[in-house]
Amino acid sequence: MTTIVSTSARRGRDLLGSRYTPVLVTLVLLVVVFLVGASQYRGFASTQVVANLFVDNAFLIVLAVGMTFVILTGGIDLSVGSVVALSTMIAATLARDGWPPLAVILVVLVTTSTLGLLVGLVIHYFEIQPFIATLAAMFLARGLCYVISLDSISITDPWFTAMAQTRIPLAPGLAITPSVIVAAVVVVVAFGVLHYSRLGRTVYAIGGGEHSAVLMGLPVPRTKVLVYVISGFCSGIAGILFTFYTLSGYSLTAVGMELDAIAAVVIGGTLLTGGYGFVLGSLLGVLLLGVIQTIISFEGTLSSWWTKIVIGSLLLVFIVLQRLLTARRR
């Protein structure tokens, strides 16, 4: 009996001391930062403020989910912000021209998924570094935005307007938007895929060692391409959610959003080298960034650039933490 207990305790320490440590650190930091905000500002801990963390960041949550798949394989996707902007421009243009909302969404998702497919194929078959390939895709998507229009395009379609204005009551004084439901579904599906499917196991295996994954007979080429399709697809969904949020399409939309997504994923505990990380950790990373932005908004006297300063500092801390953890494993 004693042996069983000691073995279980040792396994628990090993589990908490390695794989889950970055996620637990993020969770603890999220709770601490939220409690600091609640102690400093009246109304900060209200249920609607908490709900607004999800409402205001639904598109970023979806974007971070797609980025998680890519980073887990050891890759990176710098194009997602520009793809979000391209999605808003396509949606706004088609809606202005009278296209049905469902057709608009399908065109956006097919376009962004196809762009992700092309990026994945270039990375795999031409052995181009993901940084370079996605950087090229970033310029391509942003350039296409300017080709469509240099000006902001307002969306007046009744369905898009209804989606932007709809509030789903959960309790007295507490409501969310349809975008939050979409983001939640994306997180749940991604969690299931990563942890309960062959695709998910292959994604982790590639990040842990691509050569070993090949020797294991896993479909490495197909999976490496597919993660960029997933990232493009999530970017398209995020773009649609962003149109609900702003009711417009604009060429300069989402400048730097790819960096926010990467920061959220890394702060959420996913290793930049791949192989370790969780979708729920990325969700925590987005919420942490949202809490920081909320604190700065409540303060009122601080520049919005302080958000970038704090995020940059946190990102550096978590990268150092990752380095220490990987060095200890070796």
Q: At 147, list the tokens.
A: 């080709």
Give the model's confidence band at 285: pLDDT under 50 very low, under 70 low, under 90 confident, else very high: very high
Supply the pLDDT for residue 6: 43
Number of domains, the chain: 1
Distances (CA, A) of 67 to 45, 73, 97, 233, 258: 30, 10, 32, 11, 9
Q: What CATH number is attached to the domain comprising 216?
A: 1.10.3470
Q: Say if residue 225's pLDDT is above 90.
A: yes
- In 3D, which of 245, 254, 59, 52 has the Cα closest to residue 160? 245
Distances (CA, A) of 100 to 37, 97, 108: 43, 9, 13
- Pick left, alpha or beta for residue 256 (phi over 0 → left; psi -120 to 50 → alpha; otherwise beta): left
Give the model's confidence band at 16: pLDDT under 50 very low, under 70 low, under 90 confident, else very high: very low
Domain of 290 in residue numbering reads as 32-329
Q: Is residue 9 part of a domain?
A: no
Q: Among all chains, which residue has been given the structure tokens 């409501």?
A: 175
Q: How far apart are CA 278 and CA 316, in angstroms?
A: 19
Share of residues in the chain with pLDDT > 70 (%)? 91
Q: Say if residue 187's pLDDT is above 60.
A: yes
Q: Is residue 7 part of a domain?
A: no
User: What are the DSSP E strand ranges found in the chain?
Assistant: 153-154, 168-171, 174-176, 248-249
Number of H helices and E strands in the chain, helices first, is 14, 4
Supply the pLDDT for residue 330: 53
pLDDT (tens digit, 9 = 90+) per residue, 83-135? 999 999 999 999 999 999 999 999 999 999 999 999 999 999 898 999 999 99
Q: Is residue 36 part of a domain?
A: yes
Q: Which helix (H) or strand (E) is 18 found in, with range?
A: none
pTM of the full predicted structure?
0.91
Q: Say if residue 17's pLDDT is above 70.
A: no
Q: Is residue 25 part of a domain?
A: no
Q: How far apart are CA 239 and CA 243, in angstroms?
A: 6
Q: Is residue 2 part of a domain?
A: no
Q: Which helix (H) or strand (E) is 31 found in, with range?
A: helix 21-40
Which residues on neighbouring strands pair with residue 153, listed in sequence order? 249
Residue 170 sits at φ, ψ, to 5 deg, of -110, -30
Q: Are 153 and 161 in contact (CB under 8 A)?
A: no
Q: Say if residue 1's pLDDT is above 50.
A: no
pLDDT (tens digit, 9 = 90+) per residue, 23-51? 888 899 899 999 999 998 888 888 989 99
Question: Strand 174-176 and strand 168-171: pairing?
Answer: antiparallel
Q: Is residue 3 part of a domain?
A: no
Q: At 173, list the tokens.
A: 């004084």
Q: Say if residue 12's pLDDT is above 50.
A: no
Q: How far apart are CA 156 and CA 248, in angstroms?
A: 9
Share of residues in the chain with pLDDT > 90 (%)? 70
- In 3D, which of 195, 255, 270 has the Cα closest to residue 22? 270
Q: Are 265 and 227 in contact (CB under 8 A)?
A: no
Q: Is residue 88 part of a domain?
A: yes
- Pick left, alpha or beta for residue 74 (phi over 0 → left; psi -120 to 50 → alpha; otherwise beta): left
Supply the pLDDT for residue 76: 96
Q: Is residue 19 part of a domain?
A: no
